[in-house]
Amino acid sequence: MEFLAKSAQPEKHKSGCLAITLFDGGALSVSAKKIDDASEGAISKIVKLGDFSGASGQAMLLPAPAGIQAQRLLLIGLGKLPVSAKSFRSSMSSALSRVISSKTKDLSICFDGVDVDKHDIEWMVAQTGELAATTTYTFNQFKSKEQKKAINLTKLTFLADGKKQQTALTNAANNAQAIGNGMNTTRTLGNLPGNECPPAYLAKEAKKIAKGQKKLTIKVIEEKEMKELGMGALLSVSAGSDQPAKLIIMEYKGGKKNDAPHVIVGKGVTFDTGGISLKPGGDMDQMKFDMCGAASVLGTMQAVVEMDLALNVIGVITAAENMPSGGATRPGDIVTTMAGLTVEILNTDAEGRLVLCDALTYVKKFKPASVIDIATLTGACLVALGNHTSGMLGNNDEVMDNLRFAADSTQDAVWQLPMGEEYMRQLDSPFADMANIGGRNAGTITAACFLSRFTEDYPWAHLDIAGTAWISAGPKKGATGRPVPLLTQYLMNQV
């Protein structure tokens, strides 16, 4: 999808569809008043008839009235002023869905006179662009030609009030396009079935993103080198699979040579049967989404490259497949991590922390400014926070505060959970330095406590996206692309 900004008066601008905004009680925005004047009160007449009240989430698509150059007119209700950030996103999502159901090929939007609480017009453009990119997303590559549904909307233009604003909106639109593209890459990788997306496929996709990019280099560590490095935890997960594990390092050098990099580490279990601790058969198909942490790293790195961020960023993907076989790790087995700590594996379905811990030890070599790991780690997080909010834990308040700030900006929500010695003790083992599970209670917290033992040498935060990475059922079933907006905004704020 193409995004651009243009300095133009809404009533004189030619497009397939022009979108204008109204508020509670039918109050008109600046652009709506211009259209109303040019069309001899056409908008006011619709409001007086009671067909449109300007309530949040309302959207009405009409043939354009006489007096304007667009072919169609989209009325968007934003509710009460100032508009809340959540209400704005919800309203724009409804409006975009309405346009997509039509034959409209290009949409133009004017935000003159729109007041969103604590946010400016550039934020509105960025959020709308991201929503447009993801709303027009389709995953139909495995459907027959007859079942593929085409989406007509391919261009979105933001109308600016003058050349100075046009420059600012162009930058915002370009960033939105990069984030939207990154989210869609993440969604596609998540939606791919396990037979199409083994660990080697993630390595291939990383190289694809780096192709032709001077600032991005890729290194793939194979199992032989993992053994030499002592990555016994990661290798214990792939032991039962015919698909070799991969540790993928994506190093982007956009900042100064000696600037410490920010590192993002993604769990990439491309299919998770649970191993010997086999999962129930119902809904096991959804375990193809267990690599969404890795997919979000790939999507974020793609966005970083497209935006050409002036920052050093390293993306790390721990890719493995967790399968039961004669060679699989057994409950009760003890493995040695790269850090030299031993782990008693009480449950082979608690494998995410095992693939992550060796990667978290490995990234110490980069002397990072911050490290964030992203993982569909625990069902307990889904129980605690549902599908709306990602869990956040860590050892550094500044990193977590910065993530919270980015979450508020992007509406890609996080919620901090506690960590403490009382939770650490749940991981005690009589046979090894620690167990890989801490019992039924506080599962999200004890998982983070496990990871924290490998992150003592740098500022670190952990995002548990088990509830937010994908939608489990219904027409929108599939990967969401989260938390690419959150991660990208966090990195943008570090520049």
| 313-331 mean pLDDT | 98
Return the closest-CA partner of residue 407 out of 471, 495, 490.
490
Distance between CA atoms of residues 17 and 70, nearest Å:
6
Query: Quick one: pLDDT at residue 436?
Result: 98
Size of the chain, expressed as the number of residues it contains: 495
Distance between CA atoms of residues 169 and 159, nearest Å:
9
pLDDT band of 150, cuts 50, 70, 90: confident
Q: Please state the domain extents for the chain.
A: 2-141+149-159, 185-494
Return the closest-CA partner of residue 317 out of 300, 297, 299.
297
Query: Quick one: pLDDT at residue 397?
Result: 98
- Residues 2-141+149-159: name the CATH superfamily: Leucine Aminopeptidase, subunit E, domain 1 (3.40.220.10)
Query: Quick one: pLDDT at residue 134?
Result: 87
- Which DSSP symbol is given to 92? H
Please name the residue that has the structure tokens 């990602």: 390
- For the stretch 348-378, pLDDT in tens is 999 999 999 999 999 999 999 999 999 999 9
Give Dmax (Cα) for the chain: 82
Sign of CA dihedral 349, 299, 410, 78: negative
- For the stretch 103-124, pLDDT in tens is 999 999 999 999 999 999 999 9
Count of C-beta atoms within a 10 Å radius of residue 62: 15
Residue 422 confidence (pLDDT) above 80: yes
Query: Quick one: pLDDT at residue 475?
Result: 85
- Name residue 7's beta-bridge partners: 160
Query: Quick one: pLDDT at residue 151?
Result: 86
One-character DSSP codes across 292-326: HHHHHHHHHHHHHHHHT-SSEEEEEEEEEEE--ST
| 468-484 mean pLDDT | 95
Distance between CA atoms of residues 148 and 132, nearest Å:
20
Whole-number mean pLDDT of the chain? Answer: 96
- For the stretch 155-191, pLDDT in tens is 999 999 999 999 999 999 999 999 999 999 999 999 9
**Residues identified as active-site:** 279, 353
94-109 as b/e: b if 16+ CB within 10 A: ebbebbeeeebebbbb
Residue 146 confidence (pLDDT) above 80: no
How far is the CA of 109 from the CAs of 45, 60, 103, 126, 160, in angstroms? 21, 14, 17, 12, 9
Angle, helix 484-494 to helix 163-191, in steps of 10 degrees = 130
Mode of pairing for the β-strands spanning 390-394 and 370-375:
unpaired
| 12-26 mean pLDDT | 96
Share of the chain above pLDDT 90, in %: 96
Q: What is the CATH number of domain 185-494?
A: 3.40.630.10
- For the stretch 446-474, pLDDT in tens is 999 999 999 999 999 999 999 999 999 98
Query: Quick one: pLDDT at residue 476?
Result: 87
Query: Quick one: pLDDT at residue 56?
Result: 96
Query: Quick one: pLDDT at residue 221?
Result: 98
Residue 172 DSSP SS3: helix
pLDDT band of 255, cuts 50, 70, 90: very high
Q: Which two tokens stand for residue 64?
A: 């354009």
Residue 50 confidence (pLDDT) above 90: yes
pLDDT band of 230, cuts 50, 70, 90: very high
Mode of pairing for the β-strands spanning 2-7 and 106-110:
unpaired
One-character DSSP codes across 212-252: T-TTEEEEEE-HHHHHHHT-HHHHHHHTT-SSPPEEEEEEE
How far is the CA of 93 from the CAs of 129, 385, 386, in angstroms? 10, 23, 21
Q: Which two tokens stand for residue 166?
A: 């046009």
- For the chain, the C-alpha Rg in angstroms (whole number) is 24
